[in-house]
Amino acid sequence: MAAIELVAVAFGFAYILLAIRQQRACWIAGGISTAIYIAIFIRAGLPLQAALQVVYVAMSVYGWVAWRPGTELARKPRSWPWPRHLVALAAVGVAAAVGAPLLERYAGSDAPLADSLGTFASLVATWLLARRYIDTWCWWIAVDTGLAALFASQGLRFTAALYIAYALLAIAGWRWWRRSMNAPP
């Protein structure tokens, strides 16, 4: 599995670098990476992470379409209001509280709470990225740090390293997008 994991990591790394630069091609690289990760996470005993990858493939199509030239989302990033963050955090908490026992009981997840939290927070972060909200990067710093620990605990060394890199690159993404928000039109 290490070879296929390295291929998924390479496409994942390309995805984050292209996303930071606000390049539409990020969605192609992300779609390929996440399609590969479906099988990797199934084998690793993380069923919700595998299901999340299916959503990511669909989000890659959405992102590709949404970021096409001439659309509203092809323009500068913007901020998401803080009250919406609080609602999203509460929704992630409720979804994880409901999902974790179900994952443990019916799907045999090896880490049901971490799998649930990572999955539902990732959905919010991905939606924020697709909608070009700069706040996506703050979500990704937290999500990727937690997922790196989860993947390391499941023996996915390369994927854990990728998610540590994602968390560090999310800082660069925030800075890059912040500058582009303040740049003249």
Give the domain range for residue 161.
2-182
**How confident is the model over 141-149, as a mean pLDDT?**
96
The structure tokens 């390295």 sit at 6
Phi-psi region of 26 (alpha: psi -120 to 50; beta: other; left: phi over 0): alpha
41 contacts 49 by C-beta, under 8 angstroms: yes
Q: Which residue has the higher pLDDT, 71 or 167?
A: 167
Q: Residue 108 carries which side chain, given as an amino acid letter?
A: G
Task: State residue 185's pLDDT score.
Answer: 60
Of the listed ranges 47-56, 76-85, 126-135, 176-185, the least confidently predicted one is: 176-185
Q: Which of 11-15, 139-143, 178-182 has the lowest mean pLDDT?
A: 178-182
Closest by CA position to 62, among listed 15, 131, 16: 131
Number of domains into which the chain is organized? 1
pLDDT of residue 130: 87
Q: Is the pLDDT of residue 1 over 60?
A: no
Residue 74 or 102, more confident: 102
Confidence (pLDDT) at 83: 95
pLDDT at 152: 94
> 3-state class of 41 per DSSP?
helix
Q: How far apart are the first and last CA of the chain?
A: 47
Rounded to the nearest 5°, which phi and psi values hold at 78?
-140, 170
pLDDT tens sequence across 164-176: 999 999 999 999 9
Express as a percent the part of the chain with pLDDT over 70: 96
Distance between CA atoms of 84 and 137, rounded to whole angstroms?
15
Cα gap 169→151, rounded to integer Å: 18
Q: Which of 18-27, 86-95, 126-135 has the largest mean confidence? A: 86-95
Each as own residue / partner, the long-range contacts of residues 83-88 (CB below 8 Å, 24 or more positions apart, any chain) are: 85/135, 88/124
The SS3 call for residue 133 is strand
* Interval 152-160 mean pLDDT: 90
> For 93, how many CA atoms within 13 A lie in the half-sphere containing its CB?
6
Query: What pLDDT shows up at residue 103?
Result: 86
Q: pLDDT-derived band of residue 96, with 50, 70 and 90 as boundaries? A: very high
pTM of the model: 0.84
